[in-house]
Structure 1
Amino acid sequence: MEQAVEKVFTSDIVQVGAEKFGVIVDEKRLGEFENYLYRATTKSGDERVLRFTHSSHRMYEQVQAELDFLNYVADRGANVAKPYHSLENNFVEVCRTEDGTYFYCSLFEFAKGSHVKIDDVSIWNDTLFYEWGRTLGKLHRLAMDYPHTEHRVTWEEDELAVIQGIQDKEVYATGMELIGKIKKLPIEKGSFGLIHSDVHYHNFFYEEGRITVFDFDDAMYNYFIHDIAIVLYYSLVYWEGTEEEKALFTRHQLDVVRKGYEEENHLDEKWYETLPLFMRLRDVTLYAVLLKKFDDDLPERAEKLVSALYKRIIARKPIVDV
C-alpha cells in the first residue's frame, strides 16, 4: 500500500467502519495490497471480512457497482463471498480521513475453506479443475443478463492504464499490438460481459469440492475466455517444469476446466483458439505491474519472473502452447 494512504489509515478509521456495520474487528490485518482487509465478527458470532478501499484506488460509484454485481450473482446461486448491508442498509459506507480523502468500507461473508496449494495433489486435481470451470461458467451465464453499468471499466481501459507506464519500447509496442488484435474480436452477449477477471487460485477458498470466490475489486467488462486464460496462466507462472511438461499439464487442465464450464455455459471453439493472445497480454501486464511495484529493487523471485516474462514477450510466445 502507498505510504500516503498508509499514513491516513488510522485505528479510528477502522473503528468507524466497524461501528457502521455493527461488527467487532480483529487487530491483525488479513491483507493490505490494494485494500485493507480485517477479520470481523457480528454480535451473533458470525465471521465476516471488513474491507477498506481508499479513494485513490476506486471511486465510490465503482465500489458500489462492484458490490451490486456481487450481490446479483450471489442471489442467483453463484459460489461467491456475498456482501452484507451496513446498519444504515448500505453496501458501501464512507469514512473521511484527516487529509480530506476517503475510505470506502464494505462487509463480506467469510468464505468457507482455505487457499489451495499447487503441490498438494490431494486437492490440486481434476475435481478442483472441474469445479473451477463450473464456477466460472455460472458467473458468466449470470453476467449475460446483468444490466450494463458505466461504473466498471472495460478490459482495454484497464490494460492501457497499466501498459502506458512501460519504459521498454519493444515490450510497450508488443502490448499495444496485442490490445489491437484483441480489440478486433467480436463483442457478443454469449462471450463478453462483466466478469471477475482474476479468478486465480489465490482469489478463492476451497472446501469439500466447493469453491467460494472473493475479491471482485477488479471486476470489468471483458471476454469470458479471459477468465479461463487466467486459470491456465497462474497455474503455470511459478512452475519451473519443462515446456513439454507445462503443455501436457495445461492441455489436460483445460480439458477438465472446459467440461466443468460447459455444465453451466457454452463458449464456441473459436474462443479457445484465442487463449494464446490473452496469455501473452497477461505476460505484458504482469511485467508492468511487477516493475511498478518494486521499482528497481526486485526481490530475487520477482527478478527471475520478470526475466522470464521479458524473454517470452520479446519472443512473442505465450507461457504455454495450448
Structure 2
Amino acid sequence: MEQKILELLNGIYPVDFIKVEAVTNEMFRCTATQGEYFARITNYKSYDEQLEEVTYTNYLHKEGLGVSPTIVSINGKEVEKITINNKEVLTVLYKAAPGKHISRNQWNADVLNELGRQIGKLHRLSRKFEKIHPTKYTNDWYQNEEYAFLKYIPEEETTIRDVAQEILTKIKNIPKDNSNYGLLHGDLWLENVVVDRDLKLTMVDFQDCEKNFYIFDLAVPIYSAIEYSFVGGGNIIEYGRSITKAIIEGYQEENDIPEEMLEKLPLFIKLKEIFEYSLMHMYWDKEKLTEEQIRIMNHFRMRIENDHTFLDTNGLLINYT
C-alpha cells in the first residue's frame, strides 16, 4: 500500500518522495528530498468540505498562525482525487510542522498559557475568515454524527442518556452570535499540538473543524491535559486549576471571552466527557471489548452517573469575569 501511495503522490505533487509510512489508516508520513510531509488520504469528509477546510487553514497560515500549510498539486489543486484499489479517495498534502509532540509531564502552565494565546488568535482570525469566506459546507457541531449521543449510548444506560440529553439541550439553547460562536478547530487535544524549542506551537489535524461555541476549543485541551497528561508529583485538582488559569490568561491576551461563556466552561468540559464516552460505543466492538476498554468505560460510567465534577472551578473563574 505504501509503495502504491508513493507512486501516486510522486505523480501529482511537485515533490520528490523517497518513502511513505502509515501513521494511521488515513495519515501517512512522507519523506522527500525537500523535507518531511504528511499526506491525508480519506473520504471522511466530502471534496467540498475538505476544500473549505484547507482554504480555512491556509488562510490561518498566511495570517501567521502556527498551522501546517498545504502543498498544491501539479494540477493546481489543494485537494486531489486518487484511486487506490479501485476506490477513489481524496488526498491533501501538508508540509510537516516544526517541533514535536512533547512528553506528558511537559504540558505545564507555561505551555498551556501559550496554547491559550494561540487559540485566542485562532478565533480572532476565524471571525475575519468567515467575513471573507462565509462557510457553506462546514457543519454546526450538533450536525456531526459524533454528537448523536442517544444513537450510540445504550438505552439501558438511562442515567447517562439523561445527562447527555440535558447537556445537549442546554448548549443548543445558548444564544449565539459572532462573539461566542464560529469556526474553530474542534479537536485540540494535546496530540494535535506540536511544540518546538522556542515554545512555538503548531496546531495540526483540522479535519474535525466545525462551527461551535469558541469556549469548546478551551475545554478540549483542559480536559485532555487532566485526563492524559498529569503524571503525579502534586495534586491533580491543583494541576487542573493551574492549567485552566494559564490557558484562560493566554487566551485573553489575544481575544475576549464573554463573561457568560466563561461561566459555562464546566458545561463544555462535561460535553467533551460525554462525547468521549459516546465515541467508545460508536467505534468499539461491544462483543470483543478488552479488559482495558471495560475498565475505561466503567471509569466513565462512575464519573457521569455520580455527577462527578471533572474540573474544580470553585472560585477560579470569578477572577476572569
Which category describes the TM-score, using the shorter chain as reference length?
0.7 to 0.9
Secondary structure of 1:31's counterpart equals: coil
Q: After the TM superposition, which parts of structure 1 deviate over 4 Å for at least 4 consecutive aligned residues?
A: 239-242
Within the candidate set 9, 19, 22, 2:11 is matched to 19
> One-letter code of the match for 1:95?
I
1:215-226 correspondence runs (5 A): 215-226=205-216
Within the candidate set 98, 109, 113, 2:99 is matched to 113
In structure 1, C-alpha distance between the alignment counterparts of 2:203 and 2:254, rounded to whole Å: 16
1:72 aligned residue: 59
Q: How far off is 1:13 after superposition? A: 4.4
Question: Could you state the TM-score of these two structures normalised by the residue count of structure 2?
Answer: 0.87
Instruction: Give the 3 Å change call, closer, same or farther, for CA 190–112 of structure 1 in structure 2.
Output: same
Question: Could you state the TM-score of these two structures normalised by the residue count of structure 1?
Answer: 0.87
1:131 aligned residue: 114
Secondary structure of 1:103's counterpart equals: strand
Q: Identity of counterpart residues, as a percentage?
A: 24
Within the candidate set 228, 246, 249, 2:236 is matched to 246
Secondary structure of 1:188's counterpart equals: coil
Asked if structure 2 preserves the Cα contact closer than 8 Å seen for 1:84 and 1:109, the reply is: yes
1:304-319 correspondence runs (5 A): 304-319=295-310
1:155 aligned residue: 141
Within the candidate set 82, 86, 89, 2:76 is matched to 89
Q: How far off is 1:205 after superposition? A: 0.8
Asked if structure 1 preserves the Cα contact closer than 8 Å seen for 2:21 and 2:28, the reply is: no
In structure 1, C-alpha distance between the alignment counterparts of 2:229 and 2:188, rounded to whole Å: 18
Instruction: Give the 3 Å change call, closer, same or farther, for CA 320–11 of structure 1 in structure 2.
Output: same
Asked if structure 2 preserves the Cα contact closer than 8 Å seen for 1:163 and 1:285, the reply is: no
**Paired residues, number:** 303
2:188 aligned residue: 199
1:214-293 correspondence runs (5 A): 214-238=204-228, 245-293=235-283
Secondary structure of 1:193's counterpart equals: strand
Matched, 1:185 2:174: yes
Secondary structure of 1:202's counterpart equals: helix
Within the candidate set 29, 44, 55, 1:38 is matched to 29
Q: How far off is 1:298 after superposition? A: 3.2
Instruction: Give the 3 Å change call, closer, same or farther, for CA 30–160 of structure 1 in structure 2.
Output: closer
> One-letter code of the match for 1:27?
V
Asked if structure 2 preserves the Cα contact closer than 8 Å seen for 1:144 and 1:189, the reply is: yes
**Uncovered stretches (5+) of structure 1, i.e. residues with no partner:** 1-8
Alpha-carbon displacement from aligned partner over 1:295-318 (angstroms, at most 9, x marks no partner):
123344433222121112212334
Secondary structure of 2:21's counterpart equals: strand
Alpha-carbon displacement from aligned partner over 1:118-139 (angstroms, at most 9, x marks no partner):
22xxx33232111110110010
In structure 2, C-alpha distance between the alignment counterparts of 1:25 and 1:227, rounded to whole Å: 37
Secondary structure of 2:99's counterpart equals: coil
Within the candidate set 125, 128, 134, 1:142 is matched to 125
1:173 aligned residue: 162
Instruction: Give the 3 Å change call, closer, same or farther, for CA 240–22 of structure 1 in structure 2.
Output: closer
Instruction: Give the 3 Å change call, closer, same or farther, for CA 270–187 of structure 1 in structure 2.
Output: same
The CA RMSD over aligned residues, in Å, is 2.2
1:5 aligned residue: none
**Uncovered stretches (5+) of structure 2, i.e. residues with no partner:** 314-321
Asked if structure 2 preserves the Cα contact closer than 8 Å seen for 1:95 and 1:102, the reply is: yes
In structure 1, C-alpha distance between the alignment counterparts of 2:191 and 2:238, rounded to whole Å: 23
Secondary structure of 1:80's counterpart equals: coil
More displaced 10-residue stretch of structure 1: 163-172 or 59-68: 163-172
Asked if structure 2 preserves the Cα contact closer than 8 Å seen for 1:40 and 1:50, the reply is: no
